[in-house]
Amino acid sequence: MSAAADEALLSLSAPGGLADPYPIYAKLREETPIFRSEVFGGWVLSRFADCQAVLADGETFLVLDAQWRDRHTPGWRDNPAMVLLAALLPWKNPPEHTRERRLLMRDFTVRRVQELEPTVRRAVDRVLDRFADATADGGAAEFVGTVLYPLGMAVIGGLVGVPEADHDRLRGVTDLIGKQVDPAMPADLRAEVDAAAVEFRAYFTELIALRRADPGDDLTSALLTRPAADAEPMPVEDVLNSLVVLFGGGYETTAGALGNGIHALLTHPDQFALLAGDPGLAAGAAEEILRWDGAAQMSQRAAARPAALDGARVATGELVIVLNGAANRDPARFADPDRFDITRDAGRGLFFGHGLHLCLGAAVARLEMTVLLEQLGKRFPSLRLGGPAERRRNPALRGMAALPLTR
């Protein structure tokens, strides 16, 4: 049975799986919802309740931090991309995770996110103006490159203090680093991905030096001068790691989810008509997009002690792979889960994780998505696909490589 399940996992990287992984997830949920995978080297979960339970139990199921990698994947420190990720907040466990998250939380309170709304609205207006100009002759424009990535870069880049002139360069770098989380990443990409990680770290090291010499009104400057718990400024290494994770994670998954969601809206024209007729549905549309076809499709944990998962015995140190994308289509949690319905009111899925590692920037991402969807329906009620869409070739970080749209 596990051989057949592993075959299904491998098919996620095939053209059919990249186009639509959800029938594969459904098969796994129905036939082998918990199984030991030789492909992933750990236990794979696809039901909502199991995935949520693992993510919620931060004492039993830890993220794959540097200590775990030292014990289980010798030689990992020879790969700069793995070293870069292991130093970031999402790959740390308490007490380091607790300390660093507490320092950053004050920048993501409800009040601070609300204060960002005028900035987000200005950024949305700019990118949609660009799209309007690009399609003024009735032709199509590629929406990912024209709108989604520039928007995400503008929002998180403005927050962190990354100059607009550097946005294109950093987009290419972060796209490469994102391949590190693909379990099926081709070995011949290793050198290129590692080089991107080195460049990414060097960029933010230089940005920190610039802001120390000439502080600005941005998060980088604030982190360099902010007192930590011991009344000393935040260590430079912590500032560096915080900037890398905020910038790298602050736009990639949001742009991916928006690309998937806009494609969903336009291939379900009744739902886009609802949104265009009532912009107040934008927040609900964002939530349904995150559930129905989010970007982050899977995450990993490791057992800190022996554990039981619905009869499966997980040994200390073993990997547990949570298929977030499968969990968010679980009929035991969401009625008629394959139906795309922006009026659905059934609670949140696991797109942003759960428990200790709930995404720090979730509220910013939801704000960005809501404003863009609201304005898209208002300004372009006749929006439609302008050519074939192209999916990214990364089953773990789902998104659009190209999305030509016309109005």
- Write down all domains in the chain, each with its CATH number in brackets: 2-406 (1.10.630.10)
Pick out the chain residues at pLDDT < 50.
Answer: 230-231
Task: Report pLDDT for 238.
Answer: 84
State the number of CA atoms in the 13 A half-sphere of 14 facing the CB: 8
Tell me the sheet residues that pair with 322: 45, 299
Task: Report pLDDT for 184.
Answer: 67
Tokens representing 168? 């294109």
Task: Report pLDDT for 371.
Answer: 97
Tell me which residue has tokens 């990992």. 76
pTM score = 0.90
Task: Report pLDDT for 227.
Answer: 59
Helix (H, G, I), strand (E, B) or coil at 303: strand
**CA R_g for the chain:** 21
Task: Report pLDDT for 228.
Answer: 55
Task: Report pLDDT for 232.
Answer: 56
